[in-house]
Amino acid sequence: MDILQVVFNEDLKHKLDRQFQRLSSLEKKVIYAIATDTEAISMSKLLESTQLLLTDLVNAIQSLSRRFLIEQQQDNNQTLFTLQPLIRHYITLQMELVNNLSSDNFEE
């Protein structure tokens, strides 16, 4: 059994659900972009993938950092952004749920 499955119980899922529901659409866009990249992602790559204004991206990153939902790393004078494995797992499940709902609606 995967360690994430052991740690990821209903109580934790409920807490993450509440936290996720409080995110703005911009914050969700940023966290989805970080979750889809398997490596830590740079600010320039985030700008490109989200197509947000720089000020909106910076504000979203600051908010997500204050909530401890994203992590920042320094590499060669460049800030990179990533997610903790548990948060990445939760966000990936959320993205799969949205994709499944979208494809179900499309098929009807």
Of the candidate CATH numbers 1.10.10.10, 3.30.70.360, 3.40.50.300, 1.10.150.120, the domain formed by 3-107 belongs to: 1.10.10.10
Coil, strand or helix at 29: helix
pLDDT of the residue at 1 = 47
pLDDT tens string 69-105: 999 999 889 999 999 888 998 998 888 887 777 666 5
Separation CA 79–CA 88 (nearest Å): 19
Q: In the structure, how many helices (H) and strands (E) does the chain have?
A: 6, 3
Percentage of the chain with pLDDT > 90?
60
CA distances from 55 to 34, 51, 77, 85 (A): 17, 12, 20, 27
Q: Hunting for tokens 């949205």 — which residue is that?
A: 98
Instruction: Say if CB 24 and CB 60 are below 8 A apart.
Output: yes
pTM for this predicted structure? 0.81
